[in-house]
Amino acid sequence: MLTIKDLTVKFPSRFGDFSAIEGVDMTIKPGEIHGLVGESGAGKSTVGAAVIGLLQAPGYVANGILTLGDTDLRDLTAAQAHEVRGDRISMIFQDPQTSLNPLMTIEDQLVETIQAHSDASKTAARRRAVDLLEDIGIQNASQRIKAYPHQFSGGMRQRVVIALAICTDPELIIADEPTTALDVAVQSQVLDLIKQLARERQIAFMLITHDIGVIAQVANRVTVMRKGRVVETGDTAQVLGAPKHPYTRALMDAVPPLDQKIDRFRVPAADDTAVMQGDTAERWLLEGQQYGLTGLALENLTVTFTGQRTSLFRKPSHYVALEDVTLTIRPGSIMGLVGESGSGKSTLAKAITGLVTPTYGTMILGDTVLPFGSSRSRHHSSRQLVQMVFQDPYSSLNPRHRIGDILTEPLRFYGFVKDPAERTSLAASMLSLVGMQPDAIIKYPHQFSGGQRQRIAVARALLARPRFLICDEPTSALDVSIQAEILNLLKELQARFGLTILFISHNLAVVRQMADDTAVLRNGKIQEVNTTEVVYQSPQAKYTKSLLAQTPVMPKSWRH
Amino acid sequence: MIAFLKKYEGLWLFVHSPSAIVAAMVATLIILGAIFASWIALVNPYDLASFSLFDGLLPPVWQDGANPKYLLGTDDQGRDMISAILYGARLSLIIGLSALTIAAVIGVGLGLAAGYYGGRFDAVVMRIADVQLALPAILTALLIDGIARGILPAAIQQDLRVAVLTLAIALSLWVNFARTARATTFVQMNKEYVQAAIMMGQRPSRVMFVHILPNILGPLLVIMTVDLASAILLEATLSFLGIGLPADSPSLGTLIRIGMQFMLSGEWWILWIPTLFLIALVVSINILGDFLRDIFNPRLR
Amino acid sequence: MVYFIVKRMIQSVFVMLAVAFLAFSLFRFVGDPITQMTGVETSVVDQERLREELGLNDPFVSQFIRFTGDMLQGDFGYSYRTRQPVADMITERVPATLELGVVALIISLLVGVPAGVYTALKPRGIWTQTILMTTLVGVSVPTFVIGIMLIFLFGVQLGWLPTFGRGGTVQIGNWESSLFTFSGWRALLLPAITLGVYQLTLTMRLVRAEMMEVMRSDYIRFAMARGVPMRKLHYKHAMVNTMVPVITIIGLQFGGVIAFSIVTESVFQWPGMGLLFLESIRFVDIPVMGVYLVVIAFFFVLVNLVVDLLYVAIDPRLRLRELE
C-alpha cells in the first residue's frame, strides 16, 4: 500500500547538487515488515525521511512517485502533509533517550499526540494511553504514565516511543535503527513487539537497519541499498540466503556467523588497500619476538567507583564495576571478552592499562605483577608491552596531528629508533604492513575513512612493539564489510607476530570468529570462561544461553 | 578534490561573505593606522609642544572656518582630530591586546590544568572563578585601579597608568578563558587519543600542550575576538569614567569624555569622531568574531 | 534534592566569605585608616592610642572575625571622605540603583526573549536579518556611548526627556522610590534603556542560539513525525525547553546590570550606588569601596541561588530519581 517508484532525493551544496538517493523502487503491503538494509551512506535513512516528509533541509525530492494507498504524498500542501504525519505515517528513531521531551510527562506527550489526531476528550485520551502502554508491556501503566522520560530504563523508553508512534493508529511506521542502541535482550523484546503489532494491527513497517541479523529475524521482505541505489529486493530468505547481486553476496560473505568459526572472511579486493607487505616493519617486529609470548593472568580483580553524593544523610553509593574477576589469557592466544553495555568490559581494559585503579586483586603480565594505576610509573615496562586499539576511529587519532607524527610518537617515546628519518621510514613501512599506502604519512586523520583510521590505529599500536594487545570493540563503529577486512588484518598480524590479544566486544558473532577462548561478563562478574567452542556450543551459564538464544541470526536453512 | 575544498572552506566562506570582508578591511585599516600613527599623523598628541591653543576648536574641512591642514578639525587644545584618534586607537589596541594575552595565558593555563587534573585542583580553580564571577568585569577593573591608587606612591602612578589598566582588564577577563578551556578540555579528556597518550606514559604537560591544546583552539579563538572587543570597550569605559587614561595621553575613551563637554555647544566633531571610530573598530572585530564562530561550528552552516 | 540545595547554599556562603575577605584585605592593606581619619595634627602617641582602641593591632584573624560580625549586624564602618556611616550612605542610594536595574532587566527580557524566539523560528526572514544586524552593533557600542546618543537625541535635540537626575520621588518607609511619579518615570526611561540595551542583545543572542539548538533535537523531530501541531511544537516544546538554560544566564546578567549601572549612573548623573562607588574610587575612600564590593557580591550570589532553586523546580531530571 506504500508505493515508491523511481525516487530521487537531492541535496544542493556549494559544489552542485548531490544525489543522496536515486531511482529507488519499493512497495510495502499492510502488515508487512520490510527491511531496508545497507551500509553507512547507502541512503536508507533518506528514504524513510522522504516518505514522511522530514528531509533535513535543504534536501528535496527531485523526482519520483510516492503514494500511500490512494494519496499522492508528493501532492500535498505543507498543512496536509503535517496532517498525514502521525495519522497515517509515523516514525521512530534510534535513541529513545533523546526522542522524548525531557520536561514533559509521558502522559502529556501521549495525550497531546492522541488529541492532535482525534476529537477525544482529555480523559478519553488518557484512558487510551494507559491501555496502550499496558498492551505493549508496561505494567502498572496508570501510575507509570505520570513519570518523566528519564525515570525509565532504555528498553522501557523505546516501548514508550513505540506507544507514541502507534497511539494514532497509523498505517505505516518507519523505524530508523530502532534497536541499535539497545541490549540484546531488550532488542529481542522490541523486535517481538514489532512483529506482534504488524500481525495484530496490520501496521506496515519500514525497518531501517545495518544489522543483517535483525532483518533475518523479523523482516518479511528486504531491500538492499548501496550508495543511494537499490541493489536487490525480494523475500528475506531469498535475498539473504541466495543473493543474486554480487554486492549482496559480498555483504553476506562479510557477516560473521554465530555458529562456526571461519578462518578468514571472503572480502573483495578493494582498490585502495595494497596487499599487506612491509618488509622493514616486519623484520623490526620479528626482532621483538625475542621476548617470547606473553600471557596475562587476573586474580580476584575488583574495581569499585564511589558515586556522587546525592543525599545529605546517606553516604555516596558505591558502584561495583568489576567484582572478583579471575581470568587467564594463554600466551599467544586470543581471548574474547563478551558483555553488554555496562558489563564492565571497558573498565577491565582500563584497569589493565593503568587508566583506572582497581580496589583489590592482582594482575600479572607474563611473569611480572602489574602495579595498580595510580602507582604505576610512567616509564613502567607494561606501558610499552601492552597496547590498545580503541573503539571509535574518529576520536582515537589526534585530529590535529599528522599521521606521521602520530605513528612516530611511540618510536620516539620508547626510544626504539633515534634517527628521525629512520623513524619515518619505519612508520611508512608499518603503514604498508597494515594495508595502507605509505603516502598517508603526511596526511591528517580526517582525510581517511573509518576503516582506514582503524588500520592506522593498529599500526600505531604495533609501533610500540607490544606483546599484548587489547582490542576494545575495534570494529563496532565500522560497516560490516570493513569490519571483515579489519578482522582479517588482526588475525593475520596475530599469527605472524605472536601477539596475545584481549578482544572485547558485545557482538557475539564477531567474538566467535576471533577468539580461541571466551569469557562472558555481566554486571562486573564473570559468568563463564572456556574455550570458544565450548562456550558457544555448550554454554554452562544461564546468561550465556539466553544471550545466544536472543542474538538475531540468519537461519541456517537459508544458506545455500 | 573534496578534501582540498574542505580544508580551505573557511577561505571560501570568507570570500563569499561581504560583511566579513568589509569588517576585515575596516579592522585592518584601523590597525595599520594605529601602528603607523607616528608616521601618518600630523602631530603627536602627547607632545605638548606640537600643537597650540590657537589652532583649537577648528571644525572639519567641509564646514566654514576650517583649516585644510586639519581634515577632521581640532579639539579644544588644538590637537588634530585625526592624529588624536590614531594615537588613541593605538593605545586602546595596545592595552586591549596586552590584557587579552595575559588573560589568555593565565586563563587557558589554569583551565587546561583544571580539566586535566580534575579533582581538588579543579575545585579550587572553580571556586576562585566563582568569586571572580560574582564581581563583574567593570567592578574588578575599577577595584584594581582603586587599589593601585591606594598602594602606589603618587610619583610613579602616572607612569604606571597603562600597566595598571592592562592588569585590571586582564584580571577581569581571564575567567572566560579558564571556563571555556576547562569545558573543552573535559570533552577532549574523554576522547580516545588523549587516553592513548596518557596510557603510553606521556608527561602531563606534554599531553596538555601538545595533544589537547591544538584541539581546543577553535572555541578559544572565538573567545579571543569577543574578549578583544570587550577589553577595548572596557578600557574605553574606564577612560570615559575618568579612571583610565588621562587627557594628556588620551585613548579613544578619554577623547569621548572630553568631547562630551562640547556636545551642547556645537563642536560636535570633538565628540562624534572618536565615537564613530571606536564603534567602527569594535563592530568590525565583532563581525570577524561571529564569522570565526560560524566557521568553527560546522553544524550552523 | 535537599542535598543539592544545601550544597549550593554552602557554596554561596563560601563565596560571600571570600568576598568579605577581599574587602577586609582592602581595609587592612591599602592605605592607613588612622591617617585618613585623623589628619596631620594628631600626635603619634594619640594615633597609637587610637589604633589600639580600634583594635587595629590585633591579630589578622580576630580582626577579620570582628569585621564580618560587624557587617552581619549592619555596621559598615565610616567613610574616609564624608565621615558618615557607610551603611547610611549606601542604603540611601540602593533604591535608585535597584529600581534602575530591575526596570532595565525587565526591558531587556521583554524585548530580548521574543526577539530571540522569533529570529530562531524564522532564520531567513528580512526582519531576522535586520534584528541580527542591529544587535551586532548593539553589542559593539559601549554603554556610555548609547547613553550619550540617547541624551543627545531625546534630551538635547528633541527635548522630550530630562537628561539627569531622578525626577520626583516618593518616600515609602526607608525606600525612596521614583516609580510613583510621572516625572520619575520620565527620568528613568533613558537610563533604563541605556542599561538594558547591552543586556537585551546578549539575551536575544542567547535565546536564539539555544532555541536553534533545541529545534534540531531528536524529540522535536519525533514530535513532528507524530504530527503534533506546529504551534504547540514551537511554544510548548521548543520554547519551554529553551528557557531552562536561559534562566541561569539571566541570573548572571543581573550581576552585569548592577555593574553597568556604574557607567549609566555616571552618564545620567543618576544618584545610585554606582555613582557613589565611582566617587569612592576617585578619593580612595576604602570603606565605601569595600562595602560596595560586599553588597554587590551579595546581590549577585542571592540572585544566583534563587535561579538555581528555580532550575531545580523546573527541570524534573534534577528533582526526581529513577523509578527502577
- Which of A482, A508, A450 has its CA nearest to residue A490? A482
Q: Which residues of C touch B147 (CB under 8 A)?
A: 26, 30
pLDDT at residue number B301: 34
- Comparing CA positions, the residue from C141, C145, C139 lying closest to residue C267 is C145
pLDDT > 90: percent of chain A: 41
DSSP assignment, residue C229? Answer: -
Size of interface B-C (CB pairs under 8 A): 119
**B146–C289 CB contact, under 8 Å:** yes
Lowest mean pLDDT among A31-45, A81-95, B250-264, C160-174: C160-174
Confidence class for position B297, pLDDT limits 50, 70, 90: low
Q: What percent of chain B has pLDDT over 90?
A: 17
Q: Cβ–Cβ of A164/C316 closer than 8 Å?
A: no
Check whether A469 has a pLDDT greater than 90.
yes
Q: A66-75, B2-11, B223-232, C239-248: which has the minimum mean pLDDT?
A: B2-11
Q: Is the pLDDT of residue B212 over 90?
A: yes
Task: Count how many Cα atoms sit within 13 Å of the Cα of residue A272 in the half-sphere of its side chain.
Answer: 12
Distance CA A361, CA C106 (A): 61
**Res C324 pLDDT > 50:** no
Residue B181: alpha-carbon gap to chain centroid: 19
First to last CA, chain A: 32
Give the mean pLDDT of A514-534.
92
Q: What is the nearest CA distance from A491 to chain B, expressed in angstroms?
A: 22
Distances in Å between the alpha carbon of C262 and those of A402, C208, C255, C257? Answer: 51, 28, 12, 9
Reported as a single tens digit per residue, the pLDDT across C141-170 is: 888 888 888 888 887 777 777 777 777 777
What pLDDT is recorded for position C42?
Answer: 67
Using the Cβ of B229 and the Cβ atoms of chain C, whether some distance falls under 8 Å is answered with yes
Looking at CA atoms only, how far is residue B192 from chain A in angstroms? 4
Per-residue burial over C143-174, b = 16 or more CB atoms within 10 Å of its CB, e = otherwise: bbbbbbebbbebbeeeeebbbeebbebeeeee
Count of alpha carbons within 13 Å of A317, Cβ hemisphere only? 5
Q: Highest-confidence range of A238-252, C70-84, C120-134, C236-250, by mean pLDDT?
A: A238-252
Picking from A54, A164, A310, the nearest residue to C224 by CB comes out as A54
Cβ contacts of C156 on chain B, cutoff 8 Å: 263-264
Which tops the pLDDT comparison, C83 or A445? A445
Contact A398 B195 (CB under 8 A): no
pTM over 0.90, yes/no: no
Mean pLDDT calculated for residue range A128-133: 90
Question: Which positions in chain A touch B5 (Cβ < 8 Å)?
Answer: 15
pLDDT band, residue A80 (cuts 50/70/90): confident
Give the one of A14, A395, A410 whose C-beta lies nearest to B193's C-beta.
A395
Average pLDDT, chain B: 80
pLDDT of residue C35: 65
pLDDT band, residue B43 (cuts 50/70/90): low
- pLDDT attached to residue A32: 93
Q: What is the mean pLDDT of residues A128-145?
A: 86
- With an 8 Å Cβ cutoff, is B26 touching chain C? no
| Preferred mutation among B12, B187, B193 to probe A, highest tally of A CBs within 10 A | B193
A152 and C317 within 8 Å at the Cβ level: the answer is: no
Query: Would you state the pLDDT for residue A330?
Result: 92
CB contacts under 8 A, A 71-100 vs B, are none
Q: State which amino acid sits at residue A381.
A: S
Residue C303 C-alpha, separation from nearest chain B C-alpha, in angstroms: 11
Name which of C140, C144, C148 is nearest B282 (Cβ-Cβ): C140
| Best residue in A101, A104, A159, A208 for a mutation probing chain C (most C CBs within 10 Å) | A101
What subunits make at least 3 CB pairs under 8 angstroms with C?
A, B
Q: Please state, in angstroms and rounded to a whole number, the distance separating the CA atoms of residues C224 and C217.
A: 11
Q: What is the pLDDT of residue A418?
A: 87
Q: How far is the CA of A480 from the CAs of A250, B76, C235, in angstroms?
A: 10, 79, 42
For chain A, what is the mean pLDDT?
A: 88
What's the gap in Å between the CA of A168 and the closest CA on chain B?
Answer: 33
What residues in A contact B197, CB-CB < 8 Å? 398
CB contact under 8 A, B150 and C284: yes
The answer to whether C111 and C198 have CB atoms below 8 angstroms apart is: no
In chain B, what are the helix, strand and coil shares in percent, each to the nearest 5? 75, 0, 25
Checking if the pLDDT of C235 tops 70, the result is yes
| Model pLDDT, residue C174 | 67
Residues of A with CB under 8 A from a CB of C: 52, 54, 82-87, 90-93, 95, 98-104, 112-113, 116-117, 144, 147-148, 150-153, 156, 161, 164-165, 168, 309-312
Identify from C10, C25, C139, C284 which residue to disrupt to test chain B contact, counting B C-beta atoms within 10 A and taking the largest count: C139
What are the tens digits of pLDDT across the range C28-48? 776 666 666 666 666 777 777
* Predicted pLDDT at B3: 47
Determine whether the interchain pair A383/B192 forms a contact, defined as Cβ–Cβ distance below 8 Å: no
Question: Which chain B positions have a beta carbon within 8 Å of C301's beta carbon?
Answer: 134
Q: Does residue A260 surpass a pLDDT of 80?
A: yes
Domain coordinates of chain B in residue numbers?
81-300
Please report residues of C whose CB lies closer than 8 A to that of B127.
14-15, 18
> Tens digits of per-residue pLDDT, A265-276?
877 765 445 456
Question: Across residues A58-84, what is the average pLDDT?
Answer: 87
Is the CB of B215 less than 8 angstroms away from the CB of A353?
A: no
Q: Check residues B203 and B301 and name the one with the higher pLDDT.
A: B203
Q: What digits encode the pLDDT tens for the residues A171-221? A: 999 999 998 888 888 888 889 999 999 999 899 999 999 888 899 989 999
Instruction: Give the pLDDT of residue A487.
Output: 93
Cβ-Cβ contacts under 8 Å between A and B: the total is 51
Q: Tell me the residues of chain A between 420 and 449 that have a Cβ less than 8 Å away from chain B.
A: 447
Confidence bin at A89 (pLDDT 50/70/90)? very high
Nearest CA in chain B to A398: B193
Provide mean pLDDT across the span C285-313.
82
* Closest Cα in chain C to A170: C226
Q: Which of C226, C242, C244 is most worth mutating to test chain A (most A CB atoms within 10 A of its CB)? A: C226
CA distance B7 to chain A (A): 10
CA distance A391 to chain B (A): 8
Largest CA distance in chain C: 87
Question: b/e per residue, A388-423, with b = 16+ CB within 10 A?
Answer: bbbbbbebbbbebbebbbbbbbbbebbebbeeeeeb
Q: What is the number of CB-based contacts under 8 A between chain A and chain C?
A: 102
B103 confidence band (pLDDT: 50, 70, 90): very high
Q: Residue C278 phi/psi, 5° resolution?
A: -60, -45
pLDDT of residue A512: 93
Q: Residue B102: is its pLDDT beyond 90?
A: yes
Is the pLDDT higher at C112 or at C3?
A: C112
Res B155: pLDDT: 65
Beta strand A204-209 with A172-176 is: parallel
A223 pLDDT exceeds 90?
yes
Does residue A1 have a pLDDT over 60? yes
* Torsion sign across C-alpha atoms B141, B147, B151, B154: positive
Confidence bin at A510 (pLDDT 50/70/90): very high
Interchain pair A378, B201: CB under 8 A: yes
Residue of C nearest to A116 (CA): C228
A374-392: average pLDDT: 89
- Residues of A with Cβ-Cβ distance to B192 under 8 angstroms: 390-392, 395-396
Nearest CB partner across the interface for B215, out of A383, A392, A400: A400
Q: What are the Cα distances from residue B7, in Å, to A18, A289, A438, A501, B1?
A: 19, 42, 22, 38, 10
Q: CATH number of B81-300: 1.10.3720.10, 1.10.1060.10, 3.40.50.300, 1.10.390.10? A: 1.10.3720.10
Q: A328 pLDDT band (50/70/90 cuts)?
A: very high
Which CA distances in Å does B162 have to A424, B92, B96, B251? 50, 10, 11, 10
Chain A interface test: which of C124, C222, C319 (most A C-beta within 10 Å) = C222
Q: What is the pLDDT of residues A274-310, one digit of tens each?
A: 456 678 888 888 887 777 788 899 999 999 988 776 6
Candidate from A257-266, A321-330, A389-398 with smallest mean pLDDT: A257-266
Out of B5, B199, B202, closest to residue A388 by CB: B199
The verdict on a CB contact (< 8 Å) between B211 and A398 is yes
Sign of CA dihedral A398, A461, A180, C315: negative
User: What is the per-residue pLDDT across A44-54, written as a single tens digit (0 to 9) for each?
Assistant: 999 999 999 88
Q: Kindly state whether B191 is in contact with chain A, defined as any CB-CB distance less than 8 angstroms.
A: yes
| Out of B38-52, C62-76, C246-260, least confident range | B38-52
CA dist list (Å): B143 to C23, C112, C114, C277: 10, 31, 36, 10
Q: Is C14 on the interface with B (CB under 8 A)?
A: yes
Q: Which residues pair with A234 in a beta bridge?
A: A222
Query: Which of the listed ranges B50-59, B187-196, B213-222, B224-233 does the model predict with the highest average pLDDT?
Result: B187-196
Return the minimum-mean-pLDDT range out of B157-166, B217-226, C292-301: B157-166
Residue A520 near residue A340, CB atoms below 8 Å: no
Residue B226 confidence (pLDDT) above 90: no
